[in-house]
Structure 1
Amino acid sequence: MTDQVPPPGLYAAREPIFPRRVSGSFRNLKWVIMAVTLGIYYLVPWIRWDRGPELPDQAVLLDLANRRFYFFWIEIWSHEFYFVAGLLIMAGLGLFLFTSALGRVWCGYACPQTVWTDLFILVERWVEGDRNARLRLHRQEKMDFRKLRLRLTKWTLWLVIAMATGGAWVFYFADAPTLFVDLFTGQAAAVAYITVAILTATTFGFGGFAREQICIYACPWPRIQGAMMDEDTLTVAYREWRGEPRKHSEAAKTEPMGDCIDCMACVNVCPMGIDIRDGQQMECITCALCIDACDDVMERIGKPRGLIDYLALSDETAERGGAAPRPIWKHVFRPRTILYTALWSAVGIALVIALFVRADIEMTVAAVRNPTFVTLSDGSIRNTYEIRLRNKNNDDRLFRLSVIGDPAVRIDLEGTPYGSIEVPADTSLLQRVYVIAPPGSAPAQAERSDLRFWVEDLTNGDRAYKDNSFIGTGEQQ
């Protein structure tokens, strides 16, 4: 009876990746971007901005309770969500633009998963040492005191960073100094603690343990990016015609050896654990750390830099034929990227124009059609409307309401004998309004008549209007 070999599993077991430390221009650029992005994320909620009495003094605030978004001097109301939609469209177009020009450069430099994973790896390196030391610790099966101490120290620092990440996020939704005190005194709302706990757990797990698995399996962008790229897109690539055959390959015994000495430096520094010499792969996030590692080796052995470089497929074909690669600007400025830039700019300009032309006062008019009209004792026909007035100013304003259409109609405001009403600063007010047409007038006898409601700010003369209709008996004499 022969032993049966078990069938291979559907999924291969994950091999932990321990990237080696590297220095170079691209690594320095990643440090700068990490510092800037993390600085923005952690510090922005603490920036103060004076908006006057009874308004939040936080420069950037998503005030969900009052359905308002504050961004320095800009205030977005809930009914102006199209500004947020426009920003999301610009973000999408910007991602298309950068991907079509430089591949997954967003993933390699500015994606939150990349930034926090980089930060966690930095902490891991401080605590456990560089790649070889971390590998030895990982392969050590016995959990002695030293390994336990290093693990607990690393996990504690990760947990502090993760908690700061979750804490910083909730500060965007409430006054940061007040919420900070409430969180530590147990006075904050339950949703704040739940949000901090969820973000702490996900940051700790994704940045500390899952790492490249999120980019490979959870993120959909690697599978979408192919539609954004073409033969002129600059991506990290290996100049195979220059590097092959490698030093340790069989071909190197009979042919002149290429520049690649098979030192594995490009593999050892890759946070995704891939070998860029195998060609462009879905896992590659275009972080260019392999370029820094390879350039360092080339300098040491006296070979030209650029064995691994940002390279387009069209340039690869040209170089194989002995031609020089095209300048970078010709790859960046081409019809596809120009189209994305034009669309991105058009949306941005439209948002800026909409921001500056919007009025400080707004009104909405809704007719109450149950019943459609009321016949008064003197034979007049009355329609009822609900008008919502929005005062976007920082002080209380007096607004006068009027209606134009047929000169015979008149307007009454519920709760006040005057044709004006005071609306508090930076808020909205719902006012019930009655429009009355005397008996025998055209609006009273017509089935439907056009009306225009006007609101005027008595402080500065600003005006706004909304059109609606007046419902009559439909029994013209």
Structure 2
Amino acid sequence: MRAETVPGGGSPANDSLYEDHKKVYPAAVQGTFRKIKWGLLIACLGIYYLLPFVRWDRGPGHPDQAVLIDFPNRRFYFFFIEIWPQEVYYITGLLILAALALFLMNALAGRVWCGYLCPQTVWTDLFLAVERWTEGDRRDRMKLDQAPWTADKVGRKAAKHALWLMIAWWTGGAWVLYFADAPTLVRDLLFFDAPLVAYIWIAILTGTTYVLAGFAREQVCIYMCPWPRIQAALTDEWALNVSYRVDRGEPRTSMKTAEKLRAAGEDAGDCIDCRQCVVVCPTGTDIREGIQLSCIQCGLCIDACDNVMDKVGRPRGLIAYDTDINIERREQGKPEIYRFVRPRTVLYVAVIAIVAAVMVFALTTRATVGVNVLHDRNPVFVVNSDGSVRNGYTVRILNKDREARDFVLAVEGLPAGAHLDVNGPEKMVDGKPVLSVEPDQTRELRVTVLTPKGTPLPTSTPVVFSVRETVTGETAAAKDFFKAP
């Protein structure tokens, strides 16, 4: 707030830099897009709340939860897919795919993600349904807020907030179930035997869900979320957006006046200025003023307008998903055209396909064994008193499998007459050491290579350390050098 002096010595006037916030009371509406939103809401919440309880058999001794982020064992399980900590690039790939999919959705139908699938929209819709059930529709809620506090008002408000908190609590509780065996954790939570961190995260997520879905609502979409501002830079005139068809709706007037104008042969728009498109909007946006940052493209104003058009005997579609191009073409008397396949969408689809193909290839061809070699640095080599040369290495064998396995260690490229010495092999096969590695473990061992006195040696000889699994034959290799004076 800033104060300014009125010229002529008048009293100061307050000019607000921001419009005062007005509570939005969205009215209930029935129609095609409302049904779509209900279907997606049930599907999304059903997946989120129930997925931790879905089982997937991975064999004895292994978790049978279909989707599990197993921090103690450093694993992420998604049905038949198992991701290891060193494979964080898969997470990067998934984030890239999600971003590209969002860009593609925007290029085809604007903020369709915001209107139907965004968690803020889904939970806000659920909270609004609870609010209507406990307090009534738009007019009833407005009257209730303005009415004095009575037992009925207290009861309705208490019931609403109790249900909100219950939903928010279960939202936080469902989240932590993805990090431990769900049935076990539920039992531990009920008997207060769960880890403290579980209760902390449930409390945090309960609070954020309760505040964001119950109170912040449209303010999250308008002020907190960056996507509306990014989306404006990504859309074009070919993208479908919820649009008020000005060419058909204007000049707007009352229904009776419109009938008189049409009877007199004068122009009259189909819009009767009933404002139903505004009162059903969850962000309070008047779509007749054009596409705005606050519009989440949910389509509820389309349902409201179609219902009004049915009542007044005018064609549906005064508000509809449309493109800027078609609005201009209709004003010019040209037929509508739609162009979903264009360079922008082709590029997004191509990049999505490439990234997905790379991830699938990497996932299906990845190895379950690895080997790393670290050459001694100080000293790089040792000349013994008898004239022989010795190099030392630290070899790490990684077993990514869920079963203990045996590996045969071999070194190729050693100078003639060189002798390989390994500490702690369980057995030897054809003169090569066999080493056992526990499941999901790395075994580190010291390897020494010794060349006899008088062996002609270059200053650096390439060598390859390889391991081979004794049952499946799976191999892995790492390159290094044998150093000499």
For 2:459 and 2:196, locate their aligned partners in 1 and report how far apart those are by CA, in whole Å.
Answer: 55
The aligned counterpart of 1:448 is: 460
> Shift in Å at residue 417 of structure 1?
6.4
**1:6 lines up with 2:13 in the alignment:** yes
8 A Cα contact 2:102 2:113, kept in partner: yes
3-state DSSP of counterpart to 1:231: coil
Deviations 1:301-343 (A, max 9, x none): 111111001011111110111112114xx2x221111110010
> Shift in Å at residue 4 of structure 1?
1.7
**1:465 lines up with 2:477 in the alignment:** yes
8 A Cα contact 2:426 2:435, kept in partner: no
For 2:223 and 2:455, locate their aligned partners in 1 and report how far apart those are by CA, in whole Å.
Answer: 72
Q: From 314, 317, 333, give the equivalent of 2:328.
A: 317
8 A Cα contact 1:365 1:468, kept in partner: yes
The aligned counterpart of 2:371 is: 363
8 A Cα contact 1:373 1:381, kept in partner: yes
**1:110 lines up with 2:117 in the alignment:** yes
**1:285 lines up with 2:299 in the alignment:** no
For 1:191 and 1:441, locate their aligned partners in 2 and report how far apart those are by CA, in whole Å.
Answer: 62
Q: From 426, 444, 450, give the equivalent of 1:436.
A: 450
For 1:436 and 1:58, locate their aligned partners in 2 and report how far apart those are by CA, in whole Å.
Answer: 50
For 1:185 and 1:379, locate their aligned partners in 2 and report how far apart those are by CA, in whole Å.
Answer: 71
8 A Cα contact 2:426 2:436, kept in partner: no
Structure 2 counterpart of 1:128, one-letter code? E
8 A Cα contact 1:52 1:394, kept in partner: no
Q: From 79, 87, 98, give the equivalent of 2:105.
A: 98
Structure 2 counterpart of 1:383, one-letter code? N
Gaps of 5+ in 1: none
The aligned counterpart of 1:267 is: 278
Q: From 378, 384, 402, give the equivalent of 1:394.
A: 402
The 5-angstrom pairing of residues 52-451 of structure 1 reads 52-140=59-147, 142-248=148-254, 256-327=267-338, 330=339, 332-376=340-384, 378-406=386-414, 407-416=416-425, 418=427, 419-442=433-456, 445-451=457-463
Structure 2 counterpart of 1:391, one-letter code? N
The aligned counterpart of 2:46 is: 39
Q: Structure 1 residues 170-179 or 313-322, which shifts more? A: 170-179
3-state DSSP of counterpart to 2:121: helix
TM-score (norm 2): 0.91
3-state DSSP of counterpart to 1:451: strand
Gaps of 5+ in 2: 1-7, 428-432
CA-based RMSD: 2.0
For 2:436 and 2:30, locate their aligned partners in 1 and report how far apart those are by CA, in whole Å.
Answer: 64
For 1:73 and 1:437, locate their aligned partners in 2 and report how far apart those are by CA, in whole Å.
Answer: 48
Q: 1:455 to 1:222 in 2, by over 3 A?
A: same
3-state DSSP of counterpart to 2:292: coil
What is the aligned length? 466
> Shift in Å at residue 379 of structure 1?
3.9
For 1:301 and 1:96, locate their aligned partners in 2 and report how far apart those are by CA, in whole Å.
Answer: 39
> Shift in Å at residue 143 of structure 1?
2.1
**Structure 1 consecutive aligned stretches of length 4 or more whose deviation exceeds 6 Å:** 251-254
For 1:439 and 1:193, locate their aligned partners in 2 and report how far apart those are by CA, in whole Å.
Answer: 67
8 A Cα contact 2:247 2:327, kept in partner: no
Deviations 1:148-187 (A, max 9, x none): 1111111111111111111111111111122222222222
> Shift in Å at residue 248 of structure 1?
4.7
Q: 1:182 to 1:97 in 2, by over 3 A?
A: same
8 A Cα contact 2:54 2:65, kept in partner: yes
Q: 1:361 to 1:138 in 2, by over 3 A?
A: same
For 1:305 and 1:41, locate their aligned partners in 2 and report how far apart those are by CA, in whole Å.
Answer: 36
TM-score (norm 1): 0.93
Q: 1:9 to 1:441 in 2, by over 3 A?
A: farther
Deviations 1:264-283 (A, max 9, x none): 11001100101000001011
For 1:396 and 1:346, locate their aligned partners in 2 and report how far apart those are by CA, in whole Å.
Answer: 36
